[in-house]
Amino acid sequence: MITTTNLSKKYNGKQVLNIAHLEIPKGQSFGLVGNNGAGKTTYFSLLLDLIQPTTGDIKSNNIQVNLSEDWKSFTSSFIDESFLIGYLTAEEYFYFIGELRGQNKADVDALVNQFEDFFHGEILKQKKYLRDLSKGNQKKAGIVAALIGNPEVIILDEPFANLDPTTQIRLKNIIKDLAEQKGVTVLVSSHDLMHVTDVCERIVVLEKGEIIKDIATSGETLKELESYFAGSLEI
């Protein structure tokens, strides 16, 4: 589904990302972990054609993302709060995203209503603008907005950060369900090793822009990751 070849990104001669080859098959729940500055967000930004690669390319469904825009119709994402429009209410924001993705109000309502649990009564019918919601609630709205319009690829950067424990668990179920039941390719980055091992079938560790580990998740994975990150402390 997503093929990355010889991808690199340099800022002022300094390499921040260098991936020779990475293949993410359809329907996989894919986790990206790494310390700050490891290149997680850079990779996602390249995938969304928000920045230009220095070399190489990413093909999504055989569409090279920086040459054609056709991947946009089946890809959705929530990277950070800058993906929200602060002066809209959550409903208005969902409808707006829905319009962009060819969904009418009824479609959007039907989808959004499935997440009543997840919202915990704090998002819909609040008569509040998104900018006035707490960080955690903003994140909830952004994540659900990324599910509108039946996307085949969903990219979530740090989805667990700022969420309360209940919501984290609910989010894990949502992500698992998307990959297993609906065949959606879900890309998640996280600093939280436990969540990411719970959710993802496959975990890739980035360090200084390079792939260090590529693990198919098993019972041992969490230990392996923890010892890796504990070890990199001492270096």
Partner 1 sequence: MGFFALYFIIIFLALGVGMFPMLKKIFPESDPFVMFNSFIFYWILGDLVIRFFFQKLPVMSVKPLLTLPIKRKKVVNFVLGKSALSFFNFLPLFAIVPFGVTLISKEYNVSMVLVWMLTIVIFTLINNYLNFIIESLSSKTELSFLPIILIAGGLFALNHFGIINISELLAAGIQSIANNPLFLIIPILILVGLYLFNFKILRDKLFLDSSLKTKTQEVYASNLEWTKKFGDIAPFMQLDLKLLWRNKRPKSSVWMLFLGLSYGVFIYPNPLGAMYAFGGIIITGIFLINFGQFIPAWDSGYYKMLMSQNIRYKQYLKSKYTLMTLSVIILFVLSIPYVYFGWKILLAHFAAAIYNIGVNTYVILLGGSFNRKKIDLNQRAAFNFQGTGAVQWIIGLPLIVLPMGIFGIAKWLFSFEIGISVLIFLGVLGIILHEKLMKFITNKYLNSKYKMIAAFDQDN
Query: Interface residues with partner 1 (CB under 8 A)?
Result: 48-52, 69, 72-73, 75, 77, 79, 82-89, 92, 96-97, 99-102, 127-129, 131-132
Shortest Cβ 94–partner 1 spacing (Å): 12
For residue 31, the cross-strand partners are: 188, 203
165, with CB counted inside 10 A (0-12, 13-18, 19+), is: exposed
Q: Characterize the bridge pairing of strands 153-157 and 185-190.
A: parallel
The C-alpha atoms of residue 69 and residue 159 are separated, in whole angstroms, by: 25
Kindly tell me which of 92 and 180 has the beta carbon lying closer to partner 1: 92
Single out the residue of 98, 56, 57 nearest to residue 76, CA to CA.
98
Kindly tell me which of 85 and 212 has the beta carbon lying closer to partner 1: 85
Shortest Cβ 41–partner 1 spacing (Å): 11
Kindly tell me which of 129 and 229 has the beta carbon lying closer to partner 1: 129
Residue 214 one-letter amino acid: D
- What are the DSSP calls for 186-202, one per residue? EEEEES-HHHHHHH-SE
Shortest Cβ 95–partner 1 spacing (Å): 8
Kindly tell me which of 134 and 166 has the beta carbon lying closer to partner 1: 134
Shortest Cβ 104–partner 1 spacing (Å): 12
**Entry field: residues in the chain:** 235
Single out the residue of 52, 55, 72, 39 nearest to residue 157, CA to CA.
39
| Side-chain-side CA neighbours of residue 140 (13 Å) | 27
Tokens representing 51 are 């920045």
Shortest Cβ 89–partner 1 spacing (Å): 6
Kindly tell me which of 154 and 225 has the beta carbon lying closer to partner 1: 154
Kindly tell me which of 63 and 222 has the beta carbon lying closer to partner 1: 63
Residue where the block lists tokens 């300094």: 14
Shortest Cβ 77–partner 1 spacing (Å): 6
